[in-house]
Amino acid sequence: MKFYLISLGCPKNLTDSEDFCARLAAKGHKMVFTPQGADIIIINTCGFLSSALKEARENIKTALELKQNGIVKKVAVTGCMVERLKDEVKKEFPALDLVFSVAQQQRIEEIINGRAQLITPIQNDLHIPRYKMTLTLPHTAYLKAADGCNNRCAYCAIPAIRGPYRSKPEEEVVAEARLMTQNGVKELSLIAQDTTSYGQDLYGKPRLERLLKKLVKIKDLQRIRIMYAYPHRVSRELADIMAAEEKIFPYLDIPLQHISDNILKAMNRRCGAGVIKKVLDMLKKTVPNIALRTNFITGFPGETQKDFNELKKFVKDYQFDNIGIFEYHRELGTPAYDMPGQIPAAVKKQRARELAQAQSRVVDKLNKALVGQTIEVISDTPSRGRTYKDAPDIDGALIFSRPVRAGRIFKAKIIKAKGYRRTAEV
Ligand code: SF4
């Protein structure tokens, strides 16, 4: 059977797509790269935000039109939208041939042959892929160490969608990393909903540091990038390992969401401004040239102008290399949905704009300091790439002064920098 994949949402969802596509390929099914000529379109949906549900619906409608026009025979839907809406998906789109849960992805070959139950609850143990396929550029990939989340941030639907925190056994994560590096992957981005809780469920306490010590021993693995760290779980030991291990990029993605204690409390975040600043100061002191990425939400219910000014000042003072800015969105089923003090959309937007302006001034300053420096870069194509400060798909870009071989990690001198665009002399 020929299958065409549409994978929506975050890197964690992408690794799920990689797993079930590898499973199908291992059973002799062929992945095609245009819907034309496919027997089935498989849509792995995101469901974390209403905007993601909207995007999923649009993709389902388009796929069903292709079916109606006889271009494809079947359309199947899985992923977080199914976890969030369950049977509602089939009711809303009766023309769908298959609607199946994330837990059922590991039985995909039975599913598409109609031999397995479709909607089942989230599983306790995390399914371990026996086959591996990466849908990213050949030299960079995501390594999912765990799924689900035990934090209960008031704005977030993920715990209800992905279930409790479930770590993959250490030896499985290491085996998967080894398999990917044997297939040419050089840069591994370590991901989970909360990477710093890795092992809590399996080993009774977080064991990210120990996992990293094992991963850096993989001979062919060149670089590891740590994503989705939860601030108060960032230990001094983690910073020491990052400083000591050349194979770990001096880069940390550490979503903070806000800095005002009022708002952090209302968001049910597990630590306040004091702890956050202490952790950031410790990281900057311990890991030379560390690049920090984070996310902020503007317009969370109850956010006063004073709270927002505090956030703006924090961005100016702490100078993050990259930040993601999100306007708060009321998500049905989350505690914040019914919170008093909902902020008007125009104010949320204005605050997001102001934060972006503050950040672009920071980026200009950091860039000026970067020009003339020789730093580690990654070539994603012969003409474009990233610096070690840039994660794939979400951070800045790098232009090479002349073509290079793609898929390499090497040192280059930054000769120009404007906004998120930098040029490296090769
Ligand atoms: S840490 Fe918070 S924001 Fe992140 S997935 Fe868990 S509940 Fe959601």
DSSP string of 6-24, one letter each residue: EE-S-HHHHHHHHHHHHHH
Tell whether ligand 1 has an atom less than 6 A from the beta carbon of residue 147.
no
| CATH of region 140-360 | 3.80.30.20
Residue 419: its pLDDT value, please?
82
Tell whether ligand 1 has an atom less than 6 A from the beta carbon of residue 335.
no
- What is the three-class DSSP state of 374? strand
d(CA 292, CA 214): 24
The listed CATH number (3.40.50.300, 3.40.50.620, 3.40.50.12160, 3.40.1380.20) that belongs to domain 2-112: 3.40.50.12160
Tell whether ligand 1 has an atom less than 6 A from the beta carbon of residue 273.
no
Nearest C-alpha to atom 4 of ligand 1 is from which residue? 193
Tell whether ligand 1 has an atom less than 6 A from the beta carbon of residue 141.
no
Tell whether ligand 1 has an atom less than 6 A from the beta carbon of residue 194.
yes
Nearest C-alpha to atom 2 of ligand 1 is from which residue? 153
Tell whether ligand 1 has an atom less than 6 A from the beta carbon of residue 193.
yes
Tell whether ligand 1 has an atom less than 6 A from the beta carbon of residue 153.
yes
Tell whether ligand 1 has an atom less than 6 A from the beta carbon of residue 159.
yes
Share of the chain above pLDDT 90, in %: 88
d(CA 79, CA 47): 8
Where do the DSSP E strands lie in 28-134? 30-31, 40-45, 74-79, 98-99
Q: How far is the CA of 151 from the centre of ligand 1 (A)?
A: 6
Nearest-atom index, ligand 1, CA of 269 = 2
d(CA 398, CA 404): 12
Return the residue matching tokens 């000026």.
368
Nearest C-alpha to atom 5 of ligand 1 is from which residue? 193
Q: Which of 62, 16, 72 is nearest to 40 (CA)?
A: 72
Q: Which of 152, 158, 269 to mutate to test the pocket of ligand 1 (most atoms within 8 A of CB)?
A: 158
CB of 63 closer than 8 Å to CB of 75? yes
Tell whether ligand 1 has an atom less than 6 A from the beta carbon of residue 379.
no
Tell whether ligand 1 has an atom less than 6 A from the beta carbon of residue 268.
no
Q: How far is the CA of 230 from the centre of ligand 1 (A)?
A: 9
Residue 126: its pLDDT value, please?
60
Q: Which two tokens stand for residue 251?
A: 């880069």
d(CA 340, CA 408): 51
pLDDT < 50 regions, the chain? none
Q: Which of 156, 267, 331 to mutate to test the pocket of ligand 1 (most atoms within 8 A of CB)?
A: 156
Q: How far is the CA of 49 from the centre of ligand 1 (A)?
A: 13
Nearest-atom index, ligand 1, CA of 193 = 5
Q: How far is the CA of 275 from the centre of ligand 1 (A)?
A: 18
**Which strand (E) or helix (H) includes residue 284?**
helix 273-286
CA distances from 338 to 85, 86, 156, 229 (A): 20, 23, 13, 28
Tell whether ligand 1 has an atom less than 6 A from the beta carbon of residue 151.
yes
Nearest C-alpha to atom 1 of ligand 1 is from which residue? 151
Residue 52 carries which side chain, given as an amino acid letter? A
Residue 290: its pLDDT value, please?
98
Tell me the pTM: 0.94
The listed CATH number (3.40.50.880, 3.30.420.10, 2.40.50.140, 3.40.50.360) that belongs to domain 374-425: 2.40.50.140
Residue 112: its pLDDT value, please?
83
Residue 426: its pLDDT value, please?
82
Kind of pairing, strands 374-379 and 384-387? antiparallel
Break the chain into its structural domains and give their ranges: 2-112, 140-360, 374-425
Nearest-atom index, ligand 1, CA of 230 = 1
Tell whether ligand 1 has an atom less than 6 A from the beta carbon of residue 342.
no
d(CA 262, CA 311): 12
Q: Which of 49, 150, 151 to mutate to test the pocket of ligand 1 (most atoms within 8 A of CB)?
A: 151
Q: Which of 152, 153, 258, 264 to mutate to test the pocket of ligand 1 (most atoms within 8 A of CB)?
A: 153
